[in-house]
Amino acid sequence: MIKDITGKFFALLPLIAVPLLNGCEPEPLEADLPQEGVSAVTAAPTFVYPGEESGIAHRWQGSDMVFELRQGKGMHESFTATFVDDADVLAGMVKKYADYKDADIFSLLPSECYTLPVTVTLSPDKEKADVTVSVINPPTGTYVLPLVLMSDEKEIGVQYVEVVNIPASDIDMSWLDREPSVTQPRFVAIVEAAENDIRNAGNYMLYPDGTDSPQTKRPLFDMVVLFSANMNFNEYTSSPELYFNDNIRRVLDNRDIFITPLQDKGIKVLLSVMPNHQAIGFSNMDISGDRKMITDFAKEVYDAVQEYGLDGVMFDDEYADYPTTPESEQPGRPMVQMGSFHFFIKALRDLMPVVEGQAWKDRHNLITLYNIGPSTNALTGGGGWCLFSNNFDIIRNGSKAGSSKWDDDRITADMRSVKEWVSDPANEPVLEEIAQIKAGEIFDYIWNANYARGDRHDQVGVGSSGQDYDNMPIAGLTEELAKQKYGLAAFEMSLEIGQLGNIQHMAKYWQRAYDSDTEGRIEEISATLANQARYGYESVICFNLQYVPDVWKDSPNTNLYLQDFPMFMQGFGYTGSPAVTFEGTNYDTVMSSYLK
């Protein structure tokens, strides 16, 4: 295991020795690499970067880098070393380095952009010799400079220097001071990291008054959500833990490449967290005793936000596979219970407090919810339990209090467990504690998964007469707060190849689903937009924004998203002529599955 530039440890294959004088193509990747915790003091000469002796990957910070060639332990020899400069060899090393990092984003730094000493000499009376590497005016992009030091056809050491040159943004940062409105809401893009490069989201630009008014240009998206980290269950500690799959890890471990370009434009980058089919989720963490399960996981989420320089987190309570009966064979996993998410969100807010008067541009403590799952009020995704309402009476009395979902002849075993707990007088002190947690005030944003269900912020269900139950908002979410924090128009932006071979929106998420067996929208998009405007919501979420090629089937391709967002604004009541453009590199480092 060796350290990369973020301090994380990852495994690399053995390097291959470099035969410089034979006729075969050299393969300069064979020497054993330093192992974690192994001293850099060896019996052989070593080539290291001071302070990072156990690593071979280093980030150029804009100034010369001084490496060291060191004598082996107990050695006092004289030798001269040179660097491998064969372009094909170095390019091959870059390819292997990209494979090791699981990020096909690196190019070989052009030879005219760096200088190395012609030779490095170490005399018997010296323990080390300095090796200065100068990077000169690198072009825009993400590069690697492999350094292979050789002496008498023997490899002494290999190091890699990452050179990331991101051009300064030309965005007028005063856009961050804008006040969102119904007609110009905060647009939020959720990007599936397994198939899409989140940097693309930062290249969509909005001209609210058209491209003839460039002074109004601003990024289209206020927030980009990296989808998704997972909430797993650790069998050894019997507690939840935060898990990053390889796709999420690739982005987080290379934050300067993927995340910084968005933040430099003022875009907030959030991490999505969702359960992972392991019978543990936000809604069934143990609320008894000292609630260590809850506070520890909240601290882990907080630490991730801090470590990776993120601006917040989005919770998505799907795919937990919660235990369905008290007797379920799920060791260590409690049943779904009232207050689990309440206490968790409060614990996280205590770690990430809102500072009074804090400006949007200074927010790095956003806590948001994708409104889906059992504990929420949303009707989709097995939800509608309304555990965020803090209306305990509706759980105890079902239809008599406003929702037949909690009637004894309809509830499932897991709901019955919640109902019995809420109805037990011995739990009144905890219920009173839960009642003080106003989740609607704690969350900065709550976005609804209404491509499948058109739920409002205050909607629980629909009675036999078609009358909405309007008395069940998330606790603390007043009408005024709902306008600022809630988003009804949650659009599923997935694309597909149509019957004519064209790229189009996936119909079931984009058109009204008349077939009751088909998951999809329950209303036309125009109706969704009208409802968003009717209730005054100032935030919109768009799920699964995908890579759209500039050319498709050897012909210029129309990017559907450039049409969608002006249409959204006009549907919200905007009377201007907005335009959306894509400006910058169209990254396809991870190809979307619909194009494979």
**Each residue's pLDDT tens digit, 259-315:** 999 999 999 999 999 999 999 999 999 999 999 999 999 999 999 999 999 999 999
Q: Which CATH class is domain 2-165?
A: mainly beta
Using DSSP bridges, classify how beta strands 555-556 and 218-219 pair: parallel, antiparallel or unpaired.
Answer: unpaired
Fold of 182-595: TIM Barrel (3.20.20)
For residue 100, the tally of other CB atoms under 10 A from its CB is 17
Q: Where are the domains of the chain?
A: 2-165, 182-595
Q: What value does the mean pLDDT of the chain take? A: 87
Q: Which two tokens stand for residue 1?
A: 């295991």
Residue of 155, 162, 318, 538 with catalytic role:
318
For residue 319, the tally of other CB atoms under 10 A from its CB is 16
- The alpha carbons of the chain give a radius of gyration, in whole angstroms, of 28
Q: Say if residue 243's pLDDT is above 80.
A: yes
The strands making up 46-48's β-sheet, listed across from edge to edge, are 46-48, 65-70, 128-135, 114-115
pLDDT range class, residue 14, cuts 50, 70, 90: very low
pLDDT range class, residue 449, cuts 50, 70, 90: confident
pLDDT range class, residue 202, cuts 50, 70, 90: very high
Give the mean pLDDT of 571-575: 96
Q: According to the model, what pLDDT value does residue 467 have?
A: 42
Could you say which DSSP state residue 473 is in? Answer: P
Could you say which DSSP state residue 34 is in? Answer: P
Helix (H, G, I), strand (E, B) or coil at 409: coil
Amino acid at site 279? A
Q: Which two tokens stand for residue 491?
A: 């659009």
Phi, psi of 101, rounded to the nearest 5 degrees: -85, -5
pLDDT range class, residue 205, cuts 50, 70, 90: very high
Q: According to the model, what pLDDT value does residue 1 have?
A: 32
pLDDT range class, residue 22, cuts 50, 70, 90: very low
318 is a catalytic site residue: yes
Q: According to the model, what pLDDT value does residue 518 have?
A: 62
Give the mean pLDDT of 529-535: 93
| Ranges 135-139, 327-331, 362-366: which has the least confidence | 327-331
Q: Which residue has the higher pLDDT, 120 or 39?
A: 120
CA distance 198 to 402: 43
Q: According to the model, what pLDDT value does residue 572 have?
A: 96
- Per residue in 339-393, pLDDT (tens digit) is 999 999 999 999 999 999 999 999 999 999 999 888 888 877 677 788 888 989 9
- Per residue in 394-425, pLDDT (tens digit) is 899 988 887 778 899 988 899 999 999 999 99
CA distance 78 to 572: 76
